Structures are given as structure tokens and as C-alpha cells.
Chains A and B, each alone.
Chain A
Amino acid sequence: AQSVTQLDSQVPVFEEAPVELRCNYSSSVSVYLFWYVQYPNQGLQLLLKYLSGSTLVKGINGFEAEFNKSQTSFHLRKPSVHISDTAEYFCAVNPNDYKLSFGAGTTVTVRA
């Protein structure tokens, strides 16, 4: 079994400041890793994914994440946020059995 822990439930940040959202997972097998974004009352949109290869993954809207196998982490970063980045962000893990497990989510609020 696997679990996903998002270490911060709320992250307030000022516009143009950097942001990091932390995600740790537990799994005894190789996994696929994902970050999704959700705007209010909408579905989830994929930001980026790690399947294999380079541990630094670049996604849409200027986001990137780094896979660290030894620390079982997949933290999401953006060097400079915009007001439009205000949303909820979910980390997810797929241990090759097609069932995604999601973290509880991190709400990012960007202030001017």
C-alpha cells in the first residue's frame, strides 16, 4: 500500500515570490508521480508528471518538481507566482497498478 503526505495544508504567498509545496510518499515499489491543480468547483488539471528519467520535471505554467528517491519526495516549486496561481494543488502517486493515491491537498493563496 502507499500513502501520500502533503506537508502543508495552506500556503499563503505574495505575488512574484517563490513557492514550494512539499509532498512525501511511501511505497515499496517504483512509482509514477504527479502534481495536479484544481480551481474552485472544477476538475483537476495535470501540472507535471514523473515516469522515469531525469529527476527534475518541468510542467505547465512555470512549475517544476524534483523527484528524490532516497527521501521519497516530489516537491513542487515555482520561482515567481501570479495571482492566477491561487488554487488547490494535489500530489498523487501511482505504483504501477493504475490506482492513483492522492494527498489531502495544499491550498495556495497568492496575495498582491
Chain B
Amino acid sequence: DGGITQSPKYLFRKEGQNVTLSCEQNLNHDAMYWYRQDPGQGLRLIYYSQIVNDFQKGDIAEGYSVSREKKESFPLTVTSAQKNPTAFYLCASSRDRENTEAFFGQGTRLTVV
């Protein structure tokens, strides 16, 4: 089955540590996105990539980094510079640059302990 796989589902991190969230898609989609979800705030865009080896900052990129070395993979690193990293993180992809439909992974819940 085609889809988007995020791993792990739950992740715990100590303060001051970097952590990387995985996102893989086998839909052959060009564009991929990372969102952060907090209660009552909807989804906010962190980074997006329209093509391999290229990515752009979204609305809340500070404290995060990404790479897009392969079409099917778009990992997100939450760095120690992110002041409030505890959240639910969602990865998405879309077939084209116009983003006429985004497909979402099941999410990773990150908790800083």
C-alpha cells in the first residue's frame, strides 16, 4: 500500500538534546511538508520541500532543520534551540507543486522530559 510513514510514534527527549523524526513516502510525490500541532492552534508549517535537494522555511522554522536528499524521505531534526518542542508533529506530501491534495502520516508525539 502507498502512503506516508512516520517514526517513531512516540518520542521522549531530554532537554538540550537534538532528535530526528523520520518521514518516508512511497507515493512518488514531489512535495513534502512538516507541521507542528498544538492544542487549539491547528497546524503550523515548519518546513516544506518541493523537490529533492531543495527546501524552504515555513512559518515556525526556528529551532528546526530538515534535509531532502531523496525524493521519498524528509527527516526533521528538532534541535536544542527549539524552546518548546513538546508537540505532535505531522508529515505530509502532495503530488504536485500546486498541492491540490496533501496526504498525512500518522504523526509523532514528541515529549521533552
Number of A-B contacts defined by CB within 8 Å: 65
The secondary-structure label for the interface of chain B is: strand
The answer to whether the Cβ of B75 comes within 8 Å of any Cβ in the partner chain is no
CB contacts under 8 Å to A, within B70-113, are 88, 90, 92, 94, 97-107, 109
Q: Are B101 and A46 in contact (CB under 8 A)?
A: yes
Complex: how many Å from CA A96 to CA B96? 11
A102 to B4, CA, bound (A): 20
Q: Annotate B34-51 by CB proximity to A: 1 below 8 A, 0 otherwise.
A: 010000111111001010
Q: Is A9 an interface residue (CB 8 A)?
A: yes
B63 at interface, CB cutoff 8 A: no
Could you tell me if B42 and A99 are in contact, using CB atoms closer than 8 angstroms? no
Chain A residues contacting B44 (CB-CB under 8 Å) are: 102
* Interface size band for B: 20 to 34
Q: For residue A98, which residues in chain B have a CB less than 8 angstroms away from its CB? A: 31, 48, 50, 94, 97-99
Q: Closest A-chain residue to B4, C-beta based?
A: A43
Complex Cα distance, B99 from A32, in Å, reads 9
| A4 to chain B: closest residue by CB | B42
For the complex, what is the distance from the CA of A45 to the CA of B102, rounded to whole Å? 9
Q: Can you list 20 A-B contacts (CB < 8 A)?
A: A32-B99, A34-B102, A42-B107, A43-B6, A43-B105, A44-B102, A45-B104, A46-B101, A46-B102, A90-B42, A98-B48, A98-B97, A98-B99, A99-B45, A100-B45, A102-B35, A102-B42, A104-B41, A104-B42, A105-B40
**Supplied contacts A41-B109, A51-B100, 20 more A-B pairs, CB within 8 Å:** A4-B42, A32-B99, A34-B101, A43-B4, A43-B90, A43-B104, A43-B106, A44-B102, A44-B104, A94-B98, A94-B99, A98-B31, A98-B94, A98-B98, A99-B48, A100-B33, A101-B45, A104-B40, A104-B41, A105-B40
Listed in ascending order, the chain B residues whose CB lies under 8 Å from chain A are 4, 6, 31, 33, 35, 40-45, 48, 50, 58, 88, 90, 92, 94, 97-107, 109
Chain A residues with a Cβ under 8 A of chain B: 4, 9, 32, 34, 36, 41-46, 49, 51, 90, 94, 96, 98-105
